[in-house]
Structure formats: C-alpha cells, structure tokens
Amino acid sequence: MTTFIQGLPKVELHLHIEGTLEPELMFELAKRNQISIPFSSPEEVQAAYQFDNLQSFLDIYYQGANVLIDEQDFYDLTWAYLLRCKQDNVVHTEIFFDPQTHTARGIAFETVINGIDRAMQDGKQQLGISSQIIMCFLRHLDQESAFETLGQAIAFKDKIIGVGLDSSEQGHPPEKFKEVFEAAINEGFLTVAHAGEEGPAENIHNAMKLLGVARVDHGVRCVEDPALVEQLIEERMPLTVCPLSNTKLKVFENMEDHNVIELLRKGLCITINSDDPAYFGGYMTDNFMAVASAIDVTEQELAQLSLNAIEASFISESEKGRLRGLVKQYCL
Ligand code: HPA
Ligand code: ZN
C-alpha cells in the first residue's frame, strides 16, 4: 500500500503556503531577516506544535509567518513546498495564501504574490508541476478589510484564479462576507471557502448559497445534516478534506473515527489534502498513508480520491484529461 500511495499521481487543492514553513526554514529566515522568534531551536518549535483546536494552531501559525519579509523568502517557502510535491508525486497543486497576514505587517501584496508566482513558474519548468493561486480572506477580520484586499488583487488578476475564506470559523460565518464574494465573482474570480471544519453544517449550506463556492474546504461536519449530504452528492460539490489537520486540531479524536472514506463511499466528491503540512505532521503521501493505515480502503478507492481532485481542480478540460490519463495508466 505504501508503494502504491507514494507513486499515485496526486492533486492538492487545500494547501496554505504559510503552513508549509518548516521549523528549519523558520530559523533560517529569522536569522536572515533579524527577526526574533520565541524558540531557541527548530526542535523547540516542533515541540510547540501541540494544539487543542483551530484557534490554538492559528495563534502559532500567524506568529511563524512573521519571518517572511522579502520576495525571496516567499520564493524559498514555495520552492521548498514544490520540492516536497515532487517527492510525493503531486502533479498539480492549488495554493492558498493569506495576503492580510502579510500586508498587516507592512509587507506589500506584490512582494508576496511575486515570490510565490516565480517559484510556481520554476516548478512548472524544472519539476513539471502545474499550480495555481487562490487568495484567502481572513474571516476574523471585517469585510471592509477583505474588500481592500480584493482591490489590491485586481492588478494581479492574471496570477490569481480564485478567492477563499479561512481562519477562525466559529463566530465568523459565511454570511459576513457575502458582498465581497459577490464582488470577487463579478471580477471573474472563482470562489471557495472553509466551512464545516469547526463550524456547523449550516456554514456549508451558506457558503454554497451565499458565496457561490465551487468547492468546500473541509466540510466534514456535513454529516450533521442528511439533506445537505444528499445535496452535496447530487451537485458533485467537492470537499477538500485534510485528515492529519483534522486529528491534530481535534475535529476527530482518532483517524479511525474520521469520516473521509465513509463520505467517499456515499458518492461525495471527496479529495485528500495536507492543509498546513509543516504544522500537522505530513504532506500528501503522509495524509493518504494516515487514512489507509487507520481505515480499510482499496487501491481503487485511493485512485478515486485522485480522480476526484482532478475533477474538482480549476484547470482546463484538456489538462484534466491529461492528468486522468496519468492516474489510469498508473492503475493498470
Ligand atoms: N482552517 C482555518 N484557517 C486556516 C486553516 C484551517 O484549517 N489552515 C490555515 N488557516
Ligand atoms: Zn485550510
């Protein structure tokens, strides 16, 4: 099973680039930029990664991002992630970034996007990995700040395929961002949103109804509303599920309790993703392995997860056809 999973061509649809900051790179960038961090070694950083819930993770994750200053830092961060993609046979990835985490610290929007984009171009040329960028609004901030961020993104429209919504779900429901998502859609952006991770099934429903999402990020709490589950099946609405994230943040106590395979078998368009791999203990192969080790699953079902991700991706039909060919050839 390990060999099958490792070699399976994969597509990642739920990955926060700030969440790929490994402790070693955090230390290197802190030194390069003379930023003080409250840890004395990469091992100490790793030891601090014990979380009780989403908020306890977000606090440490936003702090980590403080070491990212120059365009080269964003390049190095993204390049390191793409090298991990190569190891894991990830052939296409759609990368989230949180502009407000950086602009609030005085880092220019263009510094961030240009660093990420340059690494993505090199990833295509040197590693053969295709990628796209989705910018997320931080939902703990107000809609006005999201509008300001949307305004900054317009000049970089050719580099950004969609907008998303992340950060603290509880107390910040989708309806808070209805108008800015409407404006983003009018500007031609596709939309996605984190919903039903820590928040109720109602957030999934409202993300679809009010934010026009093409995918739901996480979405695992959909099971609390059977009518919603039926709707997700009917519409083939993709869920970007992140197994190691969910157990680390205690959305599920144990991987054995995770509903990812149960939802796949019900006929939902389920995908497996790594979310914030440097913080949650693993990249794509690790996430597939964690599921396959805890839950009985066939190679055919694992391949279906890859085919679902291709279906749910924001690439052209011809590119989807090419990637499906890779999966099918691998499974022969
Ligand atoms: N949920 C909400 N916000 C996030 C996450 C997540 O899983 N990862 C990074 N920001
Ligand atoms: Zn996420």
Among 291, 318, 323, 295, smallest CA distance to 307 is for 323
Is 140 labelled a binding residue?
no
Dist. CA 207–CA 210, nearest whole Å = 6
**CB 98 less than 6 A from any atom of ligand 1:** no
* CATH number for the domain that contains residue 244: 3.20.20.140
CA distances to 9, 122, 302 from 48, in Å: 33, 33, 32
Q: Which residues belong to the active site?
A: 197
H-only helix segments in 236-316: 243-248, 260-266, 277-280, 284-294, 299-312
Q: Which of 197, 221, 244 to mutate to test the pocket of ligand 1 (most atoms within 8 A of CB)?
A: 197
Dist. CA 62–CA 60, nearest whole Å = 6
- Domain count for the chain: 1
Collapsing DSSP states into helix, strand and coil, what is residue 179? helix
Kindly state the tokens that stand for 294. Answer: 């805890």
State the residue range of the domain holding 107.
2-331
- Phi/psi of residue 163, each to 5°? -120, 150
Q: What are the pLDDT tens digits along the chain (332 aa)?
A: 899 999 999 999 999 999 999 999 999 999 999 999 999 999 999 999 999 999 999 999 999 999 999 999 999 999 999 999 999 999 999 999 999 999 999 999 999 999 999 999 999 999 999 999 999 999 999 999 999 999 999 999 999 999 999 999 999 999 999 999 999 999 999 999 999 999 999 999 999 999 999 999 999 999 999 999 999 999 999 999 999 999 999 999 999 999 999 999 999 999 999 999 999 999 999 999 999 999 999 999 999 999 999 999 999 999 999 999 999 999 98
**CB 166 less than 6 A from any atom of ligand 1:** yes
Kindly state the tokens that stand for 149. Answer: 């961020």
